[in-house]
Amino acid sequence: MKIALAQINYHIGNFASNKHKIIDHIKRSEQAGADLVVFSELAISGYPPRDFLEFEDFVNKCNAAIREIATYCTKTAAIIGTPVFNSNDKGKPLYNAAAFLSDGKIQQFVNKTLLPNYDIFDEYRYFEPNNVFDVIQYKGKRIALTICEDLWNIQDNPLYTINPMDKLMGQHPDFIINIAASPFNYHQINIRTEVLKRNAIRYKLPLFYVNHVGAQTELLFDGGSLVMDRQGIILDELKYFEEDFRIYELESVSAGEKLHGKTNTRQEIAMIHDALVMGIKNYFQKLGFQKAILGLSGGIDSAVTAVLAAYALGNENVYNVLMPSRFSSDHSVNDAIQLAENLKMPFDKISIENSFGAFEETLKPYFADKSFGITEENLQARTRGVILMALSNKFGYILLNTSNKSEAAVGYSTLYGDMNGGLSVLGDVYKTQVFELARHINRDKEIIPENIITKPPSAELRHDQKDTDSLPDYESLDEILYQYIELRKGPNEIIKSGFNEGLVKRILKLVNTSEYKRYQTPPILRISSKAFGMGRRMPIVAKYLS
């Protein structure tokens, strides 16, 4: 039996596009002599469709698309993820299902059993869990078809009381197919591979895995679909962050034959880089925009953001605005200009001095002779925000937010100023990782001027300002933040790992009291296991650690 894996970039709710891509790959599979082509979880709707699933019209369109696609499956069968209605009197209205199509019609639905309801997942909000277990019989083979999480209850700390593969093994399947929507984070690839390996070894079956690829707002899907033999050895792996398509002989996979040479290399910072570039590119494409605007300050965050945007959209489509004030250093302005010229990106220099001065003069009678402070610093950031949003409105650009995760965590940013934007590129990237990204970008030649990377970080909102005036060094800060945010450790655990008690309590208080700011941020491209946004739901009015 020949099995094709189709790793496709879908668009949520774009039924015409999704259907067209699926039909094209069915035809391609048929021409190549494949018996079966496999698509990913909820391929018809795109993942995650979220509350679109509450609209009957939306699900009806999914079902209509599946029926139409089935008419193309006369020679090559297909497995496609789709939501379907639950016809039972009780339970949630929908199933997260996989449709098996052959001989021109829908032959069978397999429903997802284990519905993740943690971090960015909330499938139990919409779907009823499966309780019927049947293999798919096709061309003399018995297929154990599973959907994403259905294979994940095999780890050391099981989340569920049932394991779908245990149920299916009584029907003696010949191999496993898993269709998935597994989002990227820089630890996920190794975790995912280990989960799939455990399944192949435990059940002594070859395994075919198909994942989504592409960005859906903040969620980034890395692809990396793969084929394993019954010993859990990866025989082949599809591309990361790109669409891909390959066909395999089941007999070769069962025999453990290496298929396409080496698997992909996985340098962490390179994966983060590629994920962010894909995230920017897909966000603009799927919204129908072409051009970005950002404030280029001469600092490392805006520099890295500008480069990533240029790679994603094309240099000519990234408009950089330099907005110096009385506190801006000449080297910052010159560094920003040099970066723009290195990549031939358009740029303009607009001084904020007149605008900022006008605000100062207007507010002076009402500031009661209070001395220059954080209010005036924020006023500069907000002045810049007004300029950027005006240009964005006038020319139809999307403003890219350049704040990093370290700043967002402790509130080292200004609402309606540098927190403006339609998309946050680095909001899930710690400052220390931003430096790594800069070095990765410069790995072959100097694109980001060296001075941007080596100079002490500064917001330049007052004379001789440095980030370390308000924050600890980023190495310490980022480690404390990582232990609290990603690892969910409490203050006592973090202090026991060697950090000063006063520093830990101060940092954690800053994180929790800054929640109201993060609630108003643009979507943040997710590259970690715990990003700010939909996967981290914290109350604003709370006392814990604040």
DSSP 468: G
Please write down the HEC assignment for all residues of 27-92: HHHHHCCCCEEECCCCCCCCCCCHHHHHCHHHHHHHHHHHHHHHCCCCCCEEEEEEEEECCCCCCC
User: Would residue 148 show up in a list of annotated catalytic residues for this protein?
Assistant: yes
Least Cα distance to 98 among 36, 50, 141, 55 occurs for 36
Has 41 been annotated as catalytic? Answer: yes
What's the rounded Cα separation, in Å, for the pair 120 and 529? Answer: 10
Please tell me which residue in 21, 41, 431, 530 is annotated as part of the active site.
Answer: 41
Tokens representing residue 495 in the block? 């202090």
CA angle, 377 then 380 then 385, to 5°: 130
Helix segments in 249-294, DSSP class H: 250-254, 268-287
User: How far, in Å, are 104, 523, 529, 543 from residue 219 at the CA level?
Assistant: 34, 10, 11, 30
Q: Is 112 a catalytic residue?
A: yes
User: What is the rounded radius of gyration, in angstroms, for the C-alpha atoms of the chain?
Assistant: 26
- Strand partners for 207: 176, 228
Other Cβ atoms less than 10 A from the Cβ of 391: the count is: 17
List Cβ neighbours of 130 (8 Å cut-off, separation of 6 or more): 95, 110, 111, 112, 113, 164
Choosing from 148, 218, 291, 460, the catalytic residue is 148
DSSP assigned state of 366: G
- Pick the catalytic residue from 19, 21, 61, 112: 112
Detail the DSSP E strand segments found in 350-467. Answer: 398-401, 423-424
Residues in CB range of 375: below 8 A, 6 or more apart? 367
The whole-angstrom separation of Cα 258 and Cα 229 is 9
Residues labelled as active-site residues: 41, 112, 148
